[in-house]
C-alpha cells in the first residue's frame, strides 16, 4: 500500500506542472501560422479565430502568413515549433491530405507532427463546364469520355491539388479517362473553360459560385453528400448514379504535437462557441464555407481517413508531384 501511495504521489507531481502550465495559458502572444498568403480563405478564417481567441483568452493572437510550396513551408515551420500552446497552425486539405498523397517525401508528418484541435469548415469541389461545351450533364460527360478516352480536357488548379485529385477520383469510379490540364489557379482555368479552350474543370464552391450564378459556367455535379446551400441547383454525384462520392476542401486548427491536451481542449470548446456566433455564420456564408463542429478525436480520425482516401486515388492514377 505504501508503494502504491508513493507511486500515486509521484504521478501527481509529474502531472502538476503540465496542469499548471495549461491553467496559466496564455500569458503572452500566441501565433497562428497560415501556410498561405494573406487574403486567402484560410487566412480569413485564421483572423476570425485570432479575434475570437484574443477576446476570450485576454492575450493577443496574431496571424503569421508563411506561404510557399503549396503550404509546405509554413507547415514545416509549425511542425518544428515548441509544443507549448504559443504556436498554432491552420490545418487544411492541401498540406494535410493532398500533399501526403502526391509527395513521396515531405519535411513534416501530417499525423505525427501535429495535434488537431478542431475542424472548422469545408467546401466541396464542383465539376463545371463552359457555355461552348457540348455535354451539359454528368451523364453526357461520361458518355462523351467513353467515346473518346483521354480526349476531353479537364482543368484543375494544379498538379496534385484537391481539384486534380477530385477529377482522378471520379475517373476511377466512372471508368473513364480525361486529359488533365493543370493551371496555376482558378482564374486562369476559368478563363480557358469560359472561352472554350478547355471543356471542363473542377474547383471549390467559392471559386466558381459567382460564375455559375452569373450563367458563365454550368455546374455538372457537386462532390458533397448533399446539395450545397450556396449552389442549390447543382445536383450531387450521388443523385446522378455515383453514391458516396465526396471531394471536399477543409480548414481546421491544430498545434505542434505534444501541446498540453488541456490547452487543446480549451481551444476546441471556444471554436464550437465561435461557430455559433451570428457574425461568424455570416462570414462563412460570404466565403461559401459550411461550418464543421466536432471533437479533437473526430478531427484526427477525419484527417487520417482523408490521407488514406486520397493516397489511394493518387496511387491508382499514378499522380506524383515530386
Model confidence at 16: pLDDT above 80: no
Q: What rounded mean pLDDT belongs to the chain?
A: 94
Percent of the chain with pLDDT over 90: 92
Same domain? For 108 and 30 the reply is yes
Each residue's pLDDT tens digit, 86-120: 999 999 999 999 999 999 999 999 999 999 999 99
Pair 260, 18: CB distance under 8 Å: yes
Same domain? For 41 and 67 the reply is yes
Boundary-marking domain end, from 210, 240, 270 = 240
Asked if residue 183 belongs to a domain, the reply is yes
Mean pLDDT of 241-270: 98
Asked if residue 107 belongs to a domain, the reply is yes
Residue 132, domain CATH: 3.40.190.10
Cell numbers linked to 36: 498561405
Question: Which phi and psi angles does 159 have, rounded to 5°?
Answer: -60, 125
Measured distance CA(252)–CA(43) in Å, rounded: 11
Asked if residue 88 belongs to a domain, the reply is yes
Asked if residue 4 belongs to a domain, the reply is no
Q: What pLDDT score does 19 carry?
A: 56
Mean pLDDT of 122-148: 98
Same domain? For 114 and 132 the reply is no
Q: What pLDDT score does 20 carry?
A: 55
Q: What pLDDT score does 322 carry?
A: 80
Q: What pLDDT score does 5 carry?
A: 57
Boundary-marking domain end, from 240, 267, 292 = 240
Same domain? For 171 and 206 the reply is yes
Same domain? For 111 and 57 the reply is yes
Residue found under cell 495535434: 115
| Residues paired with 64 in a beta bridge | 33
Q: What pLDDT score does 22 carry?
A: 75
Cell numbers linked to 20: 499548471
Q: Which domain holds residue 73?
A: 26-123+249-317
Number of domains in the chain: 2
Query: What is the 8-class DSSP label of residue 107?
Result: S
Q: What pLDDT score does 11 carry?
A: 54
Each residue's pLDDT tens digit, 266-308: 999 999 999 999 999 999 999 999 999 899 999 999 999 999 9
Model confidence at 7: pLDDT above 70: no
Q: Which helix (H) or strand (E) holds 92?
A: strand 87-92
Residue found under cell 508513493: 6
Same domain? For 216 and 138 the reply is yes
Asked if residue 18 belongs to a domain, the reply is no
Asked if residue 21 belongs to a domain, the reply is no
Cell numbers linked to 288: 461559401
List the alpha helices (DSSP H) in 196-295: 205-213, 261-275, 278-287
Each residue's pLDDT tens digit, 211-229: 999 999 999 999 999 999 9
Same domain? For 226 and 301 the reply is no
Instruction: Out of 1-5, 82-86, 114-118, pick the least confident.
Output: 1-5
214 to each of 46, 210, 231, how far by Cα in Å?
29, 6, 12
Answer whether 0.85 is exceeded by the pTM. yes
Mean pLDDT of 142-153: 98
Same domain? For 117 and 130 the reply is no
Residue 66, domain CATH: 3.40.190.150
Model confidence at 1: pLDDT above 70: no
Q: What pLDDT score does 314 carry?
A: 98
Percent of the chain with pLDDT over 70: 93
Mean pLDDT of 123-131: 98
Confidence of residue 9 (pLDDT cuts 50, 70, 90): low
Q: What's the alpha-carbon Rg for the chain, to the nearest Å? A: 22
Each residue's pLDDT tens digit, 30-71: 999 999 999 999 999 999 999 999 999 999 999 999 999 999
Pair 211, 217: CB distance under 8 Å: yes
Measured distance CA(189)–CA(187) in Å, rounded: 5
Boundary-marking domain end, from 218, 240, 262 = 240
Amino acid at each position: 500500500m505504501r508503494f502504491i501511495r508513493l507511486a500515486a504521489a509521484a504521478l501527481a507531481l509529474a502531472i502538476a506542472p503540465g496542469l499548471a502550465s495549461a491553467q496559466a495559458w496564455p500569458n503572452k502572444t500566441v501565433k497562428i501560422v497560415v501556410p498561405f498568403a494573406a487574403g486567402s480563405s484560410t487566412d480569413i478564417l485564421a483572423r476570425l479565430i485570432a479575434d475570437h481567441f484574443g477576446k476570450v483568452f485576454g492575450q493577443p493572437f496574431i496571424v503569421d502568413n508563411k506561404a510557399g510550396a503549396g503550404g509546405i513551408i509554413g507547415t514545416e515551420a509549425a511542425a518544428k515549433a515548441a509544443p507549448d500552446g504559443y504556436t498554432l497552425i491552420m490545418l487544411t486539405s492541401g498540406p494535410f491530405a493532398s500533399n501526403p498523397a502526391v509527395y513521396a517525401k515531405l519535411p513534416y508528418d501530417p499525423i505525427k507532427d501535429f495535434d488537431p484541435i478542431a475542424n472548422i469548415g469545408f467546401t466541396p469541389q464542383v465539376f463545371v463546364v463552359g457555355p461552348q461545351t457540348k455535354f451539359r450533364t454528368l451523364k453526357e460527360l461520361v458518355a462523351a469520355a467513353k467515346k473518346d478516352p483521354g480526349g476531353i480536357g479537364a482543368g484543375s488548379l494544379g498538379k496534385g491539388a484537391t481539384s486534380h485529385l477530385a477529377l482522378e477520383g471520379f475517373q476511377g469510379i466512372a471508368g473513364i479517362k480525361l486529359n488533365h490540364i493543370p493551371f496555376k489557379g482558378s482564374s486562369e482555368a476559368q478563363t480557358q473553360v469560359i472561352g472554350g479552350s478547355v471543356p471542363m474543370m473542377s474547383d471549390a464552391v467559392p471559386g466558381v459560385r459567382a460564375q455559375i450564378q452569373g450563367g458563365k459556367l454550368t455546374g455538372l455535379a457537386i462532390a458533397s453528400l448533399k446539395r450545397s446551400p450556396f449552389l442549390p441547383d447543382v445536383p450531387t454525384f450521388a443523385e446522378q448514379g455515383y453514391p458516396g462520392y465526396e471531394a471536399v476542401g477543409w480548414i481546421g486548427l491544430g498545434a505542434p504535437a505534444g501541446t498540453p491536451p488541456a490547452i487543446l481542449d480549451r481551444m476546441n470548446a471556444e471554436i464550437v462557441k465561435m461557430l455559433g456566433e451570428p457574425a461568424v455564420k455570416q462570414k462563412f456564408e460570404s466565403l461559401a464555407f459550411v461550418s464543421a463542429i466536432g471533437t479533437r478525436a473526430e478531427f484526427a480520425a477525419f484527417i487520417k481517413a482523408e490521407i488514406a482516401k486520397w493516397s489511394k486515388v493518387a496511387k491508382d492514377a499514378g499522380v506524383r508531384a515530386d
